Amino acid sequence: MELPFAESFKIKMVEPIRKSSRPEREQWIREAGYNLFGLKSERVFIDLLTDSGTGAMSDRQWSEMMLGDESYAGASSYFKMKEAILELLGFEHFLPTHQGRAAENVLFSVLIKEGDIIPGNSHFDTTKGHIEFRKAIAVDCTIDEAFDTTLSHPFKGNIDLEKLENILKSKGDKIPFIIVTVTCNSSGGQPVSIENMKMVRQLADKYGKIIVFDSARFAENAYFIKLREKGYQDKTIREIVREMFACADAMTMSAKKDAIVNMGGFIAMRSKELHAKASVFNIMFEGYITYGGMSGRDMNALAQGLYDGTEFNYLETRIRQVEYLGKRLMDYGIPVQQPTGGHAVFVDAKRFLPHLPKEEFQAQTLAVELYLEAGVRGVEIGTLLADRDPVSRENRYPVLELMRLAIPRRVYTNNHMDVVAVALKNIYDRRETIRKGFKIVTEAPIMRHFTVTLDRT
């Protein structure tokens, strides 16, 4: 008999989590303005709000914490990070930042000016926020297949080359760079194929543009390439990662994902000139160029995390757990983005609650229901996240209205996944009875989903 699959780690330290009753949760979520970000974490049983900064570090990473060099300038921790980035990702220059959006802030301060257009594959919300804050426009060139959750496609993160070339042709003078998000979070943690990256590179060269990879989940992307792309089965994750980044001129990194640290990020680039220009903004916004908002111990853990995160065994355990939850939900007939992504399962709220008007925030309604049912915290990736149009101030209704269940790295067991699956099944069985959604009470002018408060309609 073939042995079943099991995790490639054992557990050395544990953290208790608390269960609660439905009446308690009803009160807590009402007090939070029906915004899951507003909950105290101790009031959550299984926290799938994000996979960002929520992972468990390895013993090797914790050992590195003790070796951190806290010198203001020229710390050995900086050089450890530099070596890992050069060896694993192939970039000669880099700047540490405190997280991914800080990397965007610094790099975009150099590259973007008012009126620019930045094409890419479903830009993440902070990426889009930093583009729109500079009065520039993010144009989504993701393939159409990504917007049909019932369709199985191995690389739903891919860029539609025709859409990209059209915009390069018609608006080329306004485009400072192309952004490729690996994996593509907003479309469901979906990977981009190497073939697509290479084609984007060709187009970028044809039109004289640079490419920036938004790399938060680059290793998960590489895992999918190994499994799904012809000719890559026998390559190591690290070989694939090198081949991916060979298509980019620069990268921004939220190290809170695939470098498995609780805080940290960086920008890496080939151009010494770009590094020099970005250094000015790094010093202004983040810190001196050899620490950029990070402590030495955190840089050490990050460097080690890049090695941990690019090991096949780790990635297999990680992605098979996400797949496990996805499969359990599909077995119950619950509509999810197919195939399941790298870091999360995305439940299609439009198909889950089709009778609820989109103006009442279907995905948010589902996320609140799930919290009430079992103390599980997911997050809305839908109309609240999509914000209002910067010019018309009208709500932007995205094609996909999703509830994301993001799975922290090396944190929960499959028993936790079973609780999530059954909780959602219970809601699915009584979905017809969910007749009321939410209306907005207060909201911020940009990135409103973090702080919006709601009430029942």
Contact residues toward ligand F0G (CB under 6 A) are 50, 52, 99-101, 124, 126-127, 181, 185, 214, 216, 254, 256, 265
SS3 for 370-439 is: HHHHHCEECEEECHHHHCECCCCCCECCCCCCEEEEECCCCCCCHHHHHHHHHHHHHHHHCHHHCCCCEE
Active site residue 84: no
Active site residue 214: yes
How far apart are alpha carbons 176 and 338 in whole angstroms?
Answer: 33
Contacts of 30 (CB under 8 A, 6+ apart): none
Nearer to ligand F0G by Cβ, of 188 and 437: the residue is 188
Q: 216, 301, 374, 386: which one is catalytic? A: 216
Start-to-end Cα distance in the chain: 55
Nearer to ligand F0G by Cβ, of 374 and 379: the residue is 379
Nearer to ligand F0G by Cβ, of 25 and 101: the residue is 101
How far apart are alpha carbons 34 and 28 in whole angstroms?
Answer: 9
Nearer to ligand F0G by Cβ, of 101 and 318: the residue is 101
Output the residue with the shortest Cβ distance to ligand F0G: 100
- Residue 369 CA neighbour count, 13 Å, CB half: 26
Supply the minimum distance, in Å, between the C-beta of residue 254 and ligand F0G.
Answer: 3
Active site residue 79: no
Q: 226, 257, 275, 343: which one is catalytic? A: 257
For residue 256, give both structure tokens.
């809170």
Q: 82, 93, 98, 449: which one is catalytic? A: 449
List Cα–Cα distances, 354 to 331, 365, 435, in angstroms.
20, 12, 10
Supply the minimum distance, in Å, between the C-beta of residue 197 and ligand F0G.
Answer: 16
Is the separation of the CB atoms in 191 and 322 below 8 Å? no
From its phi and psi, is residue 440 left (phi > 0), alpha (psi between -120 and 50) or beta?
beta
Nearer to ligand F0G by Cβ, of 214 and 360: the residue is 214
Q: 19, 59, 72, 389: which one is catalytic? A: 72
Supply the minimum distance, in Å, between the C-beta of residue 233 and ligand F0G.
Answer: 26
Supply the minimum distance, in Å, between the C-beta of residue 35 and ligand F0G.
Answer: 15
Nearer to ligand F0G by Cβ, of 101 and 226: the residue is 101
How far apart are alpha carbons 405 and 336 in whole angstroms?
Answer: 11
Active site residue 124: yes
Q: 69, 160, 214, 249: which one is catalytic? A: 214
Q: What is the DSSP string of 24-73?
A: HHHHHHHHTTT-GGGS-GGG-SEE-S-SSS-PPPPHHHHHHHHT----SS
Active site residue 128: no
* Omega of the bond leading into 339 within 30 degrees of 0 (cis): yes
Supply the minimum distance, in Å, between the C-beta of residue 208 and ligand F0G.
Answer: 25
How far apart are alpha carbons 252 and 273 in whole angstroms?
Answer: 17
| Four-CA torsion 28, 413, 425, 48, nearest 10 degrees | 40
Active site residue 125: yes
Contacts of 107 (CB under 8 A, 6+ apart): 212, 250, 252, 267, 278
Supply the minimum distance, in Å, between the C-beta of residue 99 and ligand F0G.
Answer: 3
- For the chain, give the longest Cα–Cα distance: 63
Taking alpha carbons only, the member of 250, 255, 283 closest to residue 267 is 250
Supply the minimum distance, in Å, between the C-beta of residue 71 and ligand F0G.
Answer: 25
SS3 142: strand
Supply the minimum distance, in Å, between the C-beta of residue 256 and ligand F0G.
Answer: 5
Q: 45, 78, 124, 218: which one is catalytic? A: 124
445 CB-contact burial (10 Å; exposed 0-12 / middle 13-18 / buried 19+): exposed
Nearer to ligand F0G by Cβ, of 52 and 149: the residue is 52
Active site residue 218: no
Nearer to ligand F0G by Cβ, of 77 and 127: the residue is 127
Q: 47, 125, 258, 387: which one is catalytic? A: 125
How far apart are alpha carbons 276 and 289 in whole angstroms?
Answer: 10
Enzyme catalytic residues: 72, 124-125, 214, 216, 257, 449
